[in-house]
Chain A
Amino acid sequence: MSERFLITGATLASGERADILLDGGVIAGVGSIADASGATVVDADGLIALPGLVDLHTHLREPGYEQSETVLTGTQAAAAGGFTAVFAMANTFPVADTAGVVEQEASLGRAAGYATVQPIGAVTVGLKGEQLAELGAMARSRANVRVFSDDGFCVSDPLLMRRALEYVKAFDGVIAQHAQEPRLTEGAQMNEGALSGELGLTGWPAVAEESIIARDVLLAEHVGSRLHVCHVSTAGSVEVIRWAKARGIDVTAEVTPHHLLLTEDLIAGYDPRFKVNPPLRRAEDVEALRAALADGTIDIVATDHAPHPVEAKESEWQAAANGMVGLESALAVVHAAVVETGLMNWADVARVMSSTPARIGRLHGHGEAIEVGAAPELTLYDPAAASEFDLDRLAGRSTNSPYLGRRLPGRVVATFHGGYPTFLDGAVRPRDEVARNATSAQGVVHG
Chain B
Amino acid sequence: MRHLLSTRELSREQAVELLDIAEDMAAVQEREVKKLPTLRGKTVVNLFFEDSTRTRISFEAAAKRLSADVINFSAKGSSVSKGESLKDTAQTLQAMGADGVVIRHHASGAPYTLATSGWIDAGVVNAGDGTHEHPTQALLDAFTMRRRLHGAASRGRALDGVHVVIVGDVLHSRVARSNVWLLATLGAEVELVAPPTLVPVDTSSWPARVGYDLDAALAGTPDVVMMLRIQAERMHAAFFPNSREYARTWGLDDARFDALPPSTMVMHPGPMNRGLEIAARAADSQQSTVREQVANGVSVRMAALYLLMSGDRGDA
**Which of B61-69, B81-89, B242-250 is the contact stretch?**
B81-89
Per the 8 Å Cβ criterion, residues 266-283 of A in contact with B are 269-270, 272
Which residues of the partner chain B approach A199 to less than 8 Å between Cβ atoms?
Answer: 108-109, 132
Contact yes or no, B204 A311, CB < 8 A: no
Contact yes or no, A200 B83, CB < 8 A: no
B75-112 near A? 1/0 per residue, CB < 8 Å = 00000011110110000000000000000011111101
Contact yes or no, B82 A319, CB < 8 A: yes
Is A315 an interface residue when CB atoms closer than 8 A count as contact? yes
A314-352 near B? 1/0 per residue, CB < 8 Å = 111111100000000000000000000000000000000
Centre residue among B82, B107, B171, B177 by max chain A CB count within 10 A: B107
Closest to B112 in A: A270
Contact yes or no, A194 B84, CB < 8 A: no
CA distance A66 to B108 in the complex (A): 31
CA distance A156 to B174 in the complex (A): 33
* Shortest distance between the CB of B259 and any CB in chain A (Å): 31
Which residues of the partner chain B approach A201 to less than 8 Å between Cβ atoms?
Answer: 108-109, 130-132
**A contacts with B, residue count (CB < 8 A):** 25
* Shortest distance between the CB of B9 and any CB in chain A (Å): 11
Q: B110's contact among A189, A269, A316, by CB below 8 Å, is which? A: A316
**Which of B22-30, B195-203, B306-314 is the contact stretch?**
B195-203
Is B205 an interface residue when CB atoms closer than 8 A count as contact? yes
CA distance A198 to B202 in the complex (A): 9
* Shortest distance between the CB of A64 and any CB in chain B (Å): 18
Contact status of A315 and B86, CB under 8 A, knowing A193-B201, A200-B133, A200-B177: yes
A186-203 near B? 1/0 per residue, CB < 8 Å = 000100111011111111
A59-96 near B? 1/0 per residue, CB < 8 Å = 00000000000000000000000000000000000000
Q: B200's contact among A197, A312, A319, by CB below 8 Å, is which? A: A197
Contact status of A197 and B202, CB under 8 A, knowing A314-B87, A315-B87, A317-B113: yes
CA distance A205 to B87 in the complex (A): 30
Centre residue among A269, A318, A320 by max chain B CB count within 10 A: A318
Contact yes or no, B109 A270, CB < 8 A: yes
Per the 8 Å Cβ criterion, residues 252-307 of A in contact with B are 269-270, 272
CA distance A318 to B116 in the complex (A): 16
Number of A-B contacts (CB under 8 A): 88
Which residues of the partner chain B approach A203 to less than 8 Å between Cβ atoms?
Answer: 200-201
Which residues of the partner chain A approach B87 to less than 8 Å between Cβ atoms?
Answer: 311, 314-315
Which residues of the partner chain B approach A198 to less than 8 Å between Cβ atoms?
Answer: 8, 177, 200, 205-206
CA distance A240 to B79 in the complex (A): 46
Closest to A314 in B: B87
* Shortest distance between the CB of B154 and any CB in chain A (Å): 29
CA distance A312 to B204 in the complex (A): 34
Contact yes or no, A197 B113, CB < 8 A: no
Contact yes or no, A197 B129, CB < 8 A: no
Which residues of the partner chain A approach B133 to less than 8 Å between Cβ atoms?
Answer: 200
Is B117 an interface residue when CB atoms closer than 8 A count as contact? yes
Contact yes or no, B200 A317, CB < 8 A: no
Which residues of the partner chain A approach B83 to less than 8 Å between Cβ atoms?
Answer: 311-312, 314-316, 319-320
B158-175 near A? 1/0 per residue, CB < 8 Å = 000000000000010010
Centre residue among A193, A200, A269, A319 by max chain B CB count within 10 A: A200
B108-136 near A? 1/0 per residue, CB < 8 Å = 11101100110000000000011111000
Which residues of the partner chain A approach B201 to less than 8 Å between Cβ atoms?
Answer: 192-193, 197, 203, 205
Contact status of A317 and B203, CB under 8 A, knowing A200-B174, A200-B177, A269-B116: no
Which residues of the partner chain B approach A312 to less than 8 Å between Cβ atoms?
Answer: 83
Closest to B119 in A: A314
B202-214 near A? 1/0 per residue, CB < 8 Å = 1111100000000
* Shortest distance between the CB of B183 and any CB in chain A (Å): 15
Which residues of the partner chain A approach B130 to less than 8 Å between Cβ atoms?
Answer: 200-201, 318
Contact yes or no, B202 A194, CB < 8 A: yes
CA distance A128 to B130 in the complex (A): 30
Which residues of the partner chain A approach B82 to less than 8 Å between Cβ atoms?
Answer: 315-316, 318-319
Contact yes or no, A194 B205, CB < 8 A: yes
Contact yes or no, A196 B109, CB < 8 A: no
Which residues of the partner chain B approach A316 to less than 8 Å between Cβ atoms?
Answer: 82-83, 86, 105, 107, 109-110, 113
Question: Could you list 17 examples of A-B contacts with CB < 8 Å?
Answer: A197-B171, A197-B200, A198-B8, A199-B109, A200-B108, A200-B129, A200-B174, A201-B132, A203-B200, A270-B112, A311-B84, A314-B83, A315-B87, A316-B82, A317-B108, A318-B108, A318-B110
The 4 closest A-B pairs by CB, nearest first: A197-B200, A200-B132, A270-B109, A315-B83
List 19 additional A-B contacts (Cβ < 8 Å) besides A197-B206, A200-B109, A270-B112: A192-B201, A194-B202, A197-B201, A198-B8, A198-B200, A200-B130, A200-B174, A201-B108, A269-B112, A270-B108, A270-B113, A272-B113, A312-B83, A314-B87, A316-B82, A316-B86, A316-B110, A319-B81, A319-B86
